[in-house]
Structure 1
C-alpha cells in the first residue's frame, strides 16, 4: 500500500501543520462548507446519523456534522492529525447535540477497526494520496448499511492543469496535461483521480451515484488568501456553479454522493473502537 501522506517524498515536512493552516484559508473554507452543504442535502436530519469519516484529518467536517446532531467517528492513520482533531473538538463538545469519537488506523482496515452498518461513510481528500485507490474503495464499500450514504471527495484528474494555468505556472500546466501526479503545496505528492473509476468500483458493491458536485471552481488558485466579507457570495457562486456542467468538470475536486442499495446483505454494526 503506497500512501504519500504517511510516507511523504520529503520526510520531516509538517504535513499536519500545513494542512491545518490551509483549512483556515478561503480555499479550505470553501471546500469544507460546500461539502457540508452537499451532505446536508442527502443526510436525514433526524434521527441523528452514525457517520464514519475515513481520513477525517483535523476533524473539521466531523465537527460540522456533530454540530448538526450527528455522531461521527474519525478514522485516520496520522497521530498528529488526530491529536489536532481531538483538541479542536473539546471546546465544542459540551454544547454540540452530536458527538465525535476518534480511532487511529488506515481506511483499508475500516471494517475490522470500526465495523459496518454505518448510516454514512465519508472519504474526503484521501484518494489522491494513494497510488492505487481500489483497496480503500473496496473497504469503504463494506462499511455502509443498506441504503447508507458513501461520500467521496478527490482531485479531478482531468482538471489538474487549471490551477497551474491560473497561477501562470506554465511548466506545471504541461506536466499536469500528461501526468496526473504533482508535488502539492503542503509538501507531499498527490494525484488526480478518475471519477468514472471510483464510480465503477463502488457500483461493483451495488453503491450507485445520487449526485455529484464540483468543489472549488473559482477559488482554487487563491492559495493562502483568507475569507473576506464576501464569503457568503463566494460560497453561493461556488455552490451553484459546482452543480452544473461545464463548471463542475473543471473544479479542483469532484464530490460524489452515492447510496448503497437496499438489497445489499445487511451486516451487524459493531461499535466504534475507543
Structure 2
C-alpha cells in the first residue's frame, strides 16, 4: 500500500498515495468533468494564447499540461508529488494526441521554482494549488516573480465563500458561523487546508502589481443542486447554465472554484 503524505515541512499538502482517489473522485466524476469542460470553455476567452511557453505549476495528474501541449505550447509541468508526476508522464506518453509534443517535467514544490525553473515565463498556470499550501499569499508572490513583464497568470483557487455557503446548506451551521472551514490535510480527506476569498486574491494581486483582467466562477450551480443530472441531456443543460452565468455578478462569486487571469505590467513603477 502506498504511503499517504500529509503536510510537508512548509505546511503544504502533497498527494503521494492519493492518485487513484484523485482520478476517481475528482476527474472521473461529474464535478471533475464539468470543471474540465468549463476550463476548456474559458481559457481561450480569458488568455492571450499564441503558442507561448507555459509553466504549469502543481500540474497534478497532467490534464492542464496536456490541454496546452495539444494546442502547440511548449509546456514545463512541475509537481511536488512523485506519484502524481509519474501518473501524468505515463498518461501523456500513451496519448496519441501528444505523440508529437514535448512536455518537460520537474518534481519540485512551488517554493523551489525560482531556482529550478526561473523563466521569466510569458504564461503560468496554477490551478487548484494555493488552497493546499500553508502560505498561499507567499505563493502568489513567488508566481508573480516568475512571470515575464506583460505575462499572464492563469490562477484557479478553491473559494472559501462557496465552502462556507455549502457547509450552511448541509447543516454545518456552527462551522459556517465560526468560519472553521479549513481541512486538516490528514489521511484521504480532500478539504483544502487554505481556501481563499476573492478579496484576498484581489489584495495579494495588487500587492505584487498584478492586474485582474478577468474572473469566472466554476461549478457555480452544480454543487447546490438537490437533484444532480442523470442523463446526458440534463448534463448538457447544466453545462450550458454554468457557461451562461460563470462571469456574471453575483453568480461567479459562489463558484466552488474561482478562475482568474492576472497580468504583470510591462514595467513596474
TM-score by length of 1: 0.82
Aligned counterpart, 1:239: 243
Could you report, residue by residue, the CA deviation over 1:139-190 in whole angstroms, capped at 9, with x for unpaired residues?
1111111111111111111121333355xx312x431342231368952441
1:30, 1:235 within 8 Å by CA — same for their partners in 2? yes
> Any unmatched runs of 5+ in structure 2?
1-9
Q: CA RMSD in A?
A: 2.6
Aligned counterpart, 2:257: 253
> Any unmatched runs of 5+ in structure 1?
7-12, 266-274
2:28 maps to 1:37: no
2:69, 2:98 within 8 Å by CA — same for their partners in 1? no
Bigger share in strand: 1
Greater relative contact order (CA < 8 Å, ≥ 6 in sequence): 1
Of 47, 57, 62, which residue of structure 2 is paired with 1:59? 62
Aligned counterpart, 2:110: 107
| Equivalent-residue separation in structure 1 for 2:80 and 2:42 (angstroms) | 26
Question: 3-state SS of the aligned residue for 2:164?
Answer: helix
Of 113, 133, 137, which residue of structure 2 is paired with 1:130? 133
1:154, 1:253 within 8 Å by CA — same for their partners in 2? yes
| Equivalent-residue separation in structure 2 for 1:80 and 1:226 (angstroms) | 33
Aligned counterpart, 2:28: 24
Question: 3-state SS of the aligned residue for 1:202?
Answer: helix
2:17, 2:83 within 8 Å by CA — same for their partners in 1? no
Q: Shift in Å at residue 93 of structure 1?
A: 5.5
TM-score by length of 2: 0.84
Question: 3-state SS of the aligned residue for 1:181?
Answer: coil
1:49, 1:71 within 8 Å by CA — same for their partners in 2? yes
Of 180, 186, 189, which residue of structure 2 is paired with 1:187? 189
The 3 A distance-change label for structure 1 pair 189 and 250 is closer
| Equivalent-residue separation in structure 2 for 1:227 and 1:92 (angstroms) | 29
2:211 maps to 1:208: yes
Question: 3-state SS of the aligned residue for 2:183?
Answer: strand
1:146, 1:261 within 8 Å by CA — same for their partners in 2? yes
| Equivalent-residue separation in structure 1 for 2:40 and 2:176 (angstroms) | 29
The number of residue pairs the alignment matches comes to 253
Aligned counterpart, 1:263: 267
Aligned counterpart, 1:196: 199
Aligned counterpart, 1:5: 14
Aligned counterpart, 2:4: none
2:60, 2:84 within 8 Å by CA — same for their partners in 1? yes
